[in-house]
Amino acid sequence: MITDEQWSTLIETRATDPGAIASAFADRRTRPLLASDGSTFIIAADHPARRALGVGADPMAMGDRRSLLDRIVTALSNPGVDGVMATPDVLDDLALLGVLDGKVVIGSMNRGGLQGTVWELDDQLTGHDIRSVLDNRLDGAKMLLRIDPDDPRCRHTIESCARHITGLAAAGLMAMIEPLPYTKIDGRSVLDRSEDELIKCIGVASALGNTSAHTWLKVPATADVERVMAATTLPTLILGGSPGPDPEKAFSSWRRAMAVANVRGLVVGRSLLYPPDGDVAAAVRTAAGIVHGEQP
């Protein structure tokens, strides 16, 4: 819970001492990407930068920054949560709040493909770059790679992702790639839920850059997750996707995915930060148990 004093201090520091952000990152205690059991659980919080504020029936759920930060802080207070993935503004806030110490921190790079825009699949680099990842001692960076065979704008995203995978690998840092097939319905870009198309995208993403040594994938837990995961040897984290009315269905799919050898954990945001019953701590506790072993 963010207290009124913490919130007031954050707002004041933002206006009067911008150098405090760099200092907070410099003082952060780092840790390995994987926990001692070989898995990792990351909270995702880069949605607002892509104009994606909706959760369930509330199209503006993520529009309240204090509420969003409070939910992330609640999640990070669980020792089973290994880290967070977010855009610079969110990570800067969390650094000033002092909650990134001993956590994995992943920067989000390409948020330019704004939801609902005509250029949505031209997903330009508008967040972290390799220099900022290095300067702030982050543990890696994430890129969204949406591929629609009929949309020429995807070419720019593919090339950009390949270039930044190469750069991150040269620095010995994780490149987390989220490959997703897309299609057009009534002129709008929408997710193609075909497992065959997802497997094709995984093949493209796995081959980007001049080495795959530091490449990780972030993919959905599909109905036949074993078949999808057979498409790659790369370590993979399961994404949460849009929250549905039945959290147990998502939890069940994550449990099944975690049994696959190259699945190393979860990267989940809205499903846990905005659960249907509002109990963030309980939802996070369940997910942490799925990743790190559920207690009897």
User: How many domains are contained in the chain?
Assistant: 1
Range of the domain at 170: 4-292
CATH code of the domain containing 261: 3.20.20.70
Average pLDDT over residues 14-43: 98
Q: Yes or no: say if 211 and 175 are a contact pair by the CB < 8 Å rule.
A: no
Give me 56's structure tokens. Answer: 């369930």
Q: Yes or no: say if 144 and 110 are a contact pair by the CB < 8 Å rule.
A: yes
Across the chain, mean pLDDT equals 95
State the residue for tokens 């520091």: 13
pLDDT given at position 164: 97
Q: What percent of the chain has pLDDT over 70?
A: 99
Average pLDDT over residues 191-198: 96
Average pLDDT over residues 244-263: 93
Average pLDDT over residues 69-91: 98
CB neighbours (10 Å) of residue 117?
Answer: 13
pTM more than 0.75? yes
pLDDT digits (tens, 9 = 90+) for 217-238: 999 999 999 999 999 999 999 9
pLDDT given at position 295: 54
Nearest to 169 by CA among 200, 143, 144: 143
Residue 241 vs residue 30, higher pLDDT:
30
Give me 59's structure tokens. Answer: 């199209």
Task: Tell whether the model's pLDDT for residue 296 goes beyond 60.
Answer: no
Number of DSSP helices (H) and strands (E) in the chain, helices first: 11, 9
Q: What is the rounded CA–CA span in Å between residue 163 and residue 7? A: 38
State the residue for tokens 């969204």: 144
Helix (H, G, I), strand (E, B) or coil at 236: strand
pLDDT given at position 244: 73
pLDDT digits (tens, 9 = 90+) for 114-148: 999 999 999 999 999 999 999 999 999 999 999 99
Helix (H, G, I), strand (E, B) or coil at 222: coil
Q: What residues pair up with 217 in beta bridges, in sequence order?
A: 177, 236
Q: Yes or no: say if 222 and 228 are a contact pair by the CB < 8 Å rule.
A: yes
